Amino acid sequence: MRVFAIGDLHLSEANPKPMDVFGEHWFQHWERIKSNWINKVGEQDVVLIPGDISWAMKLEEAKPDLDSIGQLPGRKVIIRGNHDYWWSSISKVRKMLPYNMFAIQNDNVVIDDIAFCGTRGWAVLEGREGTQHDIKIFNRELNRLKLSLDSARDAREIVVMLHYPPFDEMGNENDMAKLIRKYPVKHVVFGHLHGASLNSVVEGEINGITYHLVSCDYLNFDLKLIMER
């Protein structure tokens, strides 16, 4: 089994929103991703999608995008991103998902003895208006990550999915990363970053954990191999 990751798909089949308004490199991005996906991923492989899956505003509008992902090879594990407004109650989300797609919220998904945990996360930037509100959201997300990790406390191996990077604006580990270090986590995947923010990406091994930025534009719309067993 191989574990791949790619995030920030930003699909919009129900209400098309061409992504090339964000740059020519986004032209027909989903067709390019699908081609790379089919060439790489086998049915027993796992693909992690850490948020910003669909531009849809309602769950039923996201169904065509979820179905499009479901038709591709492999078992998919998803978390919510900051633009996934369609994500309603977890029971409704799971009911809508294709048979080979699994959503994480305050819990984990175990596939071939690997526990996949995660949460959306949040960013708290110094000097930004509304910081107290952001701190409240961040702490709520931190608790959700703890619930997810605690639910996998007996796992030998854990992979964590976040949407926001677990680093502060200076590139230092934030409380998300510090919490993750208390568990048997070897890999963390995250997305969210695009454009100029890609110039200050923090990746690689830190304190025994390997961090992977997997925003699809950062990966040139290909999937990144995270691990193989």
- What CATH number is associated with residue 129? 3.60.21.10
Residue 213: both structure tokens together? 């930025």
Q: How far is CA 213 from the centre of its chain?
A: 10
Q: What's the confidence (pLDDT) of residue 182?
A: 96
Question: Are 74 and 42 spatial neighbours (Cβ–Cβ below 8 Å)?
Answer: yes
CA dist., res. 1 & res. 154, Å (int): 21
Residue 121: both structure tokens together? 């996360």
Q: What's the confidence (pLDDT) of residue 129?
A: 63
CA dist., res. 169 & res. 209, Å (int): 20
Give just the sign of the alpha carbon dihedral 195, 173, 85, 11: positive
Domain count across the chain: 1
CA dist., res. 128 & res. 148, Å (int): 29
Does residue 127 register a pLDDT over 80? no
Q: What's the confidence (pLDDT) of residue 228?
A: 95
Residue 40: both structure tokens together? 């790489």
Q: If we measure between CA atoms, which residue out of 159, 161, 87, 85 comes closest to residue 120?
A: 161
pLDDT band, very low/low/confident/very high, at 195 (cuts 50, 70, 90) = confident
Q: How far is CA 146 from the centre of its chain?
A: 17
Question: Are 213 and 188 spatial neighbours (Cβ–Cβ below 8 Å)?
Answer: no
Q: Please state, for a pLDDT cut of 70, what percent of the chain lies above it.
A: 98
The pLDDT of 128-141, averaged and rounded, is: 87
pLDDT digits (tens, 9 = 90+) for 71-125: 999 999 999 999 999 999 999 999 999 999 999 999 999 999 999 999 999 988 7
Range of the domain at 62: 2-228
pLDDT band, very low/low/confident/very high, at 131 (cuts 50, 70, 90) = confident
Q: What's the whole-model pTM score?
A: 0.96
Burial class (CB in 10 A: 0-12, 13-18, 19+), 121: buried
Q: What's the confidence (pLDDT) of residue 125?
A: 75
The pLDDT of 166-191, averaged and rounded, is: 94
pLDDT band, very low/low/confident/very high, at 4 (cuts 50, 70, 90) = very high
